[in-house]
Amino acid sequence: MRVPLSWLREYVDLPAGVSGRDVAEKLVGLGLEVETVDQLGSDLKGPLVVGHVLEIEELTGFKKPIRFCKVDVGDANGTGEPQQIVCGATNFDVDDKVVVILPGGVLPGGFEIAARKTYGKTSEGMICSARELGMGDDHSGIIVLPVQAEPGTDAIELLGLVDEVLDIAVTPDRGYCLSMRGVAREAAIAYGIPLRDPALLDVPGVNTYGYPVVVDDTDGCRRFVARTVIGVDPTAPSPLWLQRRVQMAGMRPISLAVDITNYVMLELGQPLHAYDRSRLQGPITVRRARDGEKLTTLDGVERVLDPEDLLITDDSGPIGLAGVMGGATTEIGLATGDIVIEAANFDPVSIARTARRHKLGSEASRRFERGVDPEAARAAAQRAVDLLVLLGGEGAVAEAGVTEIDAPREPVRIGMAVDHPGNVAGVAYSAETVAQRLQDVGCTVEGIDALTVTPPTWRPDLTDPNDLAEEVIRLEGYDAVPSTLPQAPAGRGLTATQRLRRRIGRALAGDGYSEVLNYPFVGDAVFESFGLDAADPRRITVKLVNPISDEEPALRTTLLPGLLAALRRNVGRGNSDVALFEAGLVFHPKTERPIAPRLPVDRRPTGAELEELAAALPDQPYHVAVVLTGEREPSGWWGNGRAAGWADAVEAARVVGAAVGVDVTVRQAQYAPWHPGRCAEILVGDTVVGHAGELHPRVVKALQLPERTCAMELDVALLTAELAELGGERLALAGHISSFPVATQDVALIVDASVPAADVEGALRDGAGELLESLRLFDVFTGEQIGAGKKSLAYALRFRAADRTLTAEESTAARDAAVALAAERTGAVLRGA
The residue with greater pLDDT, 320 or 785, is 320
pLDDT at 728: 56
- Mean pLDDT value across residues 52-79: 91
pLDDT of 120: 86
| 33 has a pLDDT exceeding 90 | yes
- Global confidence as pTM: 0.67
Q: Report strand pairing: 578-585 vs 514-515.
A: parallel
State residue 754's pLDDT score: 86
Q: pLDDT band at 100, cuts 50/70/90? A: very high
Q: Using DSSP, how many helices (H) and how many strands (E) does the chain show?
A: 22, 42
Q: For the chain, give the percent of residues with pLDDT over 90.
A: 74
CA 527 → CA 539, 608, 687, 694, 708, distances in Å? 7, 37, 25, 17, 19
pLDDT for residue 759: 87
Rounded mean pLDDT, 37-55: 91
List the one residue out of 507, 494, 487, 441 whose CA is nearest residue 468.
441
**Do 429 and 414 meet the contact criterion of CB atoms below 8 Å apart?**
no
* Cβ 140 vs Cβ 149: under 8 Å: no
pLDDT of residue 46: 82
Give 193-229 pLDDT, tens digit per residue: 999 999 999 999 999 999 999 999 999 999 999 999 9
Q: What is the pLDDT of residues 711-736, one digit of tens each?
A: 999 999 999 887 665 555 666 666 67
Return the HEC string of 262-326. Answer: HHHHHHHCCCEEEEEHHHCCCCEEEEECCCCCEEEECCCCEEECCCCCEEEEECCEEEEECCCEE
What is the per-residue pLDDT across 657-676, written as a single tens digit (0 to 9) for each?
Answer: 999 988 898 988 999 999 99
Give 408's contacts (C-beta < 8 A, 6+ positions apart). Answer: none
Please write the tens of the pLDDT for every residue from 437-492. Answer: 999 999 999 999 999 999 999 999 999 999 999 999 999 998 888 888 877 777 77
pLDDT reported for residue 141: 82
Q: What is the pLDDT of residues 574-591, one digit of tens each?
A: 999 999 999 999 999 988
In angstroms, rounded to a whole number, what is the distance separating the alpha carbons of residues 668 and 666? 7
Instruction: With a cut of 60, say whether residue 233 has pLDDT above it.
Output: yes
737: Cβ contacts below 8 Å, ≥ 6 apart: none
Region of residue 440 (left: phi > 0; alpha: psi -120 to 50; beta: else) = alpha
Instruction: Give residue-wise pLDDT tens across range 259-297.
Output: 999 999 999 999 999 999 999 999 999 999 999 899 999
Question: What is the rounded average pLDDT for all residues in the chain?
Answer: 92
Residues 99, 133 contacting (CB under 8 angstroms): yes
Under 8 Å between Cβ of 830 and 819: yes
Question: What pLDDT, in 10s, does the model give residues 607-648?
Answer: 999 998 988 899 999 999 999 999 999 998 988 989 999 999
| Tens-place pLDDT, residues 367-408 | 999 999 999 999 999 999 999 999 999 999 999 999 999 988
- Mean pLDDT of the region 791-812: 92
Radius of gyration of the chain (CA): 40
With bands split at pLDDT 50, 70 and 90, how would you rate the model's confidence at 602?
confident
Query: Of 150, 156, 155, 131, whose CA–CA distance to 142 is shortest?
Result: 131
Q: What angle do CA 535, 541, 545 make, to 5 degrees?
A: 145
Torsion of CA 649, 652, 656, 661, to 10 degrees: 110
- Average pLDDT for residues 131-154, to the nearest whole number? 84
With CA atoms as reference, report the closest residue to 542 among 522, 570, 516: 522
- Would you call the peptide bond into 594 cis, given omega within 30 degrees of 0 as the criterion? no
69-98 residue pLDDT tens: 999 999 898 888 999 999 989 899 999 999
